[in-house]
Amino acid sequence: MKFSNQTVLVTGASRGIGAAIAKAFAAEGAFVVVNYLRNEAAAAGVVEECRALGGDALGIAADVTSEQQVNAMMEQIVNATGRLDAVINNAFAPYVFDTENRSRFWETSWSGYQSQFDGAVKAAYNVCQAALPSMRARVRGSIVNLTSDLVARPSVPYHDYITAKAALTGFSRTLAMELGPLGIRVNCVAPGLVYPTDASQATREAVRDSLTAQTPLRRIARPEDVTGPVLFLASDWSEFVTGQTLCVDGGLVMN
């Protein structure tokens, strides 16, 4: 299997896209670290599913916006497996994709932006800083950051969320430049609307129908649709790919 004997950290992996990614890695033989914030029962369920799929898994509670908690999580990972091959930064600050009840720009406080920056950029910063020693020691590693196709096509102006994801894209590109000579690759996967997830439950059917009509593949993404591109960018199949953003939205955004 492609990720046999490899350790992969997936943040925000107790549900939704993160859980789907964790299980996909496990099905390919990885030891998956299922990071979660509070829902221990959900994370334990994902760990069991990972094991049933043929991999192994460990659930670790950590707030990825906390440097101290991330460092403690990384120490647990190193003690448990002795290595870290890939990091998937999937966790983000809570958000609701509701086109009708979204905050307009004049209603969006700076604290709203700050919350999204912390959930996207600060979290990725903390995890990447903590992961770097293990990856540098092996002169090898892959980091995949989850952004959004809304950065390229802000069809609904979710101001704070999109701005934070755009910043994460810039962070990823500059990190790719810095870490490339160290053998570490950094890429982004940018999904479109993924349904159903907790964040997309409030997206109205009319909006989903409109996006479907505009999408060449004529449907909305499911969480499982995101897994293949993430695994590709984490694997040796993409060993000469870094600094890139792969949109996963059925062709809604074409680069």
**Tens place of pLDDT for every residue, the chain, 255 residues?**
589 999 999 999 999 999 999 999 999 999 999 999 999 999 999 999 999 999 999 999 999 999 999 999 999 999 999 999 999 999 999 888 888 889 999 999 999 999 999 999 999 999 999 999 999 999 999 999 999 999 999 989 999 999 999 999 999 999 999 999 999 999 999 999 898 887 777 787 888 888 899 999 999 999 999 999 999 999 999 999 999 999 999 999 998
pLDDT score recorded for residue 98: 85
Catalytic residue among 36, 125, 158, 161: 161
Tokens of residue 62, six digits: 């950590």
pLDDT score recorded for residue 207: 85
Place of tokens 């993924």: 194
pLDDT score recorded for residue 1: 58
Q: For the chain, which domains are there?
A: 7-248 (3.40.50.720)
Number of neighbouring beta carbons within 10 Å of residue 206: 10
| 9 CB-contact burial (10 Å; exposed 0-12 / middle 13-18 / buried 19+) | buried
Instruction: Kindly give, in sequence order, each residue whose CB lies less than 8 Å from that of residue 35, ignoring residues fewer than 6 positions away.
Output: 9, 10, 11, 12, 13, 59, 60, 61, 62, 64, 73, 91
pLDDT score recorded for residue 83: 96
Active site includes 161? yes
Nearest CA-CA partner of 119 in 201, 6, 37, 187: 37
